[in-house]
Structure 1
Amino acid sequence: MSRKGENIYRRKDGRWEARYIKGHRLNGRIHYGYCYGKTYHEARDKMNQARFALMNNQPQSVHGRRKRLSDYCDEWLCLKRSSVKPATFVKYTTILEKYIKPDLGEYFSEAVSEILVEQFSYHLLHEKNLSQKTVRDILSVLNSILDYTVKQNPLARSVEIVYPRAEQKEMRVLTVEEQKRFTEYLLKDMDVCRFGVLLALMTGLRIGELCALKWGDISLEEKVIYVRHTMQRLKDLNPVSEEKTRIVTGGPKSGKSARVIPMNEDIANLCARWKKDNPDAYILTGKKEQFLEPRTLQYRMKLYTDACNLEGVHFHTLRHSFATRCVEAGFEIRSLSEILGHSSTRITLECYVHSSMKLKRANMEKLKLKTDEMKKIFRL
Structure 2
Amino acid sequence: MNNNKKTKKKRHNGEGSIRQKPNGRYEVRISGRDMETGKSTRISKYADTLDEAVDIQHALSVAMVQTPQYLQNNTTVGEWLDNWLTTYMQHTLKQSTYKSYETYVRKHFKPSLGTIKLKELTPRTLQIFYNYKQEQENLSPKTISNLNMCLHKALAQAQSEGLILSNPSGSVSLPPLIKPHIEVLTREQQARLVQASYQFRYGVFVRMTLVTGLRLGEVVGLRWCDIDFYTNMLHVNQTLNRLQRYDDDEADSKTEIVTQTPKSQNSIRSIPMLPELVMDLQNWRTVQMQDAAAMGTSYFDSGLIATQENGLYVEPRLMREYYQKMLAAANLPNYNFHALRHTFATRAMEQGMDAKTLSILLGHYSVGFTLDTYAHVLTDQKWTAMQTMANMYNMEPPLRQPIQFF
Question: What TM-score, normalized to structure 2?
Answer: 0.71
**For 1:347, which of 349, 353, 369 is the aligned residue?**
369
Counterpart Cα distance in 1 of 2:188 and 2:312: 35
How far apart are the structure 2 equivalents of 1:346 and 1:288? 43
| Counterparts in 2 of 1:239 and 1:202: CA distance versus 1, 3 Å | closer
CA contact (8 A) 1:196 1:283 kept: no
Q: Partner residue of 2:395? A: 374
Question: Paired residue for 2:112?
Answer: 103
Report the CA distance shift for 1:66/1:362 in structure 2 as closer, same or farther (over 3 A): same
Letter aligned with residue 320 of structure 1: H
SS at match of 1:178: helix
**Counterparts of 1:199-210 in structure 2 under 5 Å?**
199-210=208-219
Corresponding residue of 1:124: 133
| Residue number in structure 2 paired with 1:167 | 178
Kindly provide the CA deviation profile for residues 192-231 of structure 1, in whole angstroms up to 9, marking residues without a partner as x: x111111011100100011111222222221011111101
Q: 2:193 aligns with which of 182, 187, 205?
A: 182
Q: Distance in 2 between matches of 1:61 and 1:110?
A: 12
Deviations 1:160-184 (A, max 9, x none): 2322211213311111111111112
Q: Which residue of 2 aligns with 1:81?
A: 90
In structure 1, which of residues 212, 233, 236 is the aligned counterpart of residue 245 of structure 2?
236
Q: Of 257, 262, 267, which aligns to 2:277? A: 267
Q: Could you say what secondary structure the match of 1:173 adopts?
A: coil
RMSD: 2.6
Structure 1: distance between partners of 2:249 and 2:81: 22
1:328 aligns with one of 350, 370, 376: 350
The match for 2:62 is: none
Q: Report if aligned partners of 1:223, 1:263 keep a CA contact under 8 Å in 2.
A: yes
CA distance in 2, matches of 1:312, 1:128: 28
Letter in 1 for 2:263: K
Measured in 2, the distance between the counterparts of 1:359 and 1:273 equals 37
| Map of 1:34 onto structure 2 | none
Counterpart residue identity of residue 269, structure 2: R
Q: Which moved more, 1:68-77 or 1:337-346?
A: 337-346
- Counterpart of 2:37 in structure 1: which amino acid? V
Task: Compare CA radii of gyration and give the structure with the larger one.
Answer: 2
* 1:73 counterpart letter in structure 2: L
- Using the alignment, how far apart are the partners of 1:256 and 1:318 within structure 2? 20
> Greater CA deviation, 294-303 or 90-99?
294-303
The alignment status of 1:225 with 2:234, answered yes or no, reads yes
- Indicate if the aligned counterparts of 2:320 and 2:337 stay in contact, CA closer than 8 A: yes
Partner Cα distance (1:197, 1:118) in 2:
44
Provide the aligned length of Structure 1 versus Structure 2: 315
Local SS of the residue matching 1:83: coil
Pairwise CA distance, 1:71: 1.0
Q: Deviations over 1:219-257 (max 9, x none)?
A: 222101111110111112424899521111111111111
- Distance (whole Å) between structure 2 residues aligned to residue 239 and residue 269 of structure 1: 43
Question: Are the equivalent residues in 2 in contact too, given 1:172–1:312 (CA < 8 A)?
Answer: no
Q: Which residue of 2 aligns with 1:62?
A: 37
Aligned partner letter, 1:292: V
Is the CA contact 2:224–2:303 (under 8 Å) kept in the aligned structure 1? yes
- Whether 1:252 and 2:255 are equivalent positions in the alignment is no
Structure-2 separation of matches of 1:340 and 1:90: 25
Question: Separation in 2 of the partners of 1:121 and 1:228?
Answer: 38
**Matching of residue 298 in structure 1 with residue 298 in structure 2:** no
Q: Which moved more, 1:313-322 or 1:141-150?
A: 141-150
CA separation of 1:177/1:375 partners in 2, compared to 1, >3 Å: closer, same or farther? Answer: farther
Q: C-alpha offsets along residues 338-378 of structure 1, whole Å, 9 cap, x if unaligned?
A: 1111222122112245407644542343343565x42568x
Contact 1:173 1:354 in 2 (8 A): no
State the alpha-carbon separation in 2 of the partners of residues 107 and 250 from structure 1: 37
Once the two structures are TM-superposed, the CA of residue 322 in structure 1 deviates from its matched residue by 0.4
Partner of 1:92: 101
CA-to-partner distance for each residue in 1:94-113, whole Å, 9 max, x for gaps?
11111111111111112211
Moved over 6 A (4+): none
CA deviation vs aligned residue, 1:260-284 (integer Å, no higher than 9, x gap): 1111222212222212587844222
Could you list the runs of 5+ residues in structure 1 that have no partner in the other structure?
Answer: 1-59
User: 2:189 and 2:396 mapped to 1: Cα distance?
Assistant: 40
Structure 2's unaligned 5+ residue stretches are: 1-34, 40-72, 290-300, 399-406
Residue 40 of structure 1 is matched in structure 2 by: none
- Aligned sequence identity (%): 28
Name 1:53's counterpart in structure 2.
Answer: none
Alignment check: 8 A CA contact 1:182 1:305 kept: yes
* Distance verdict in 2 for CA 1:157–1:310, change over 3 Å: same
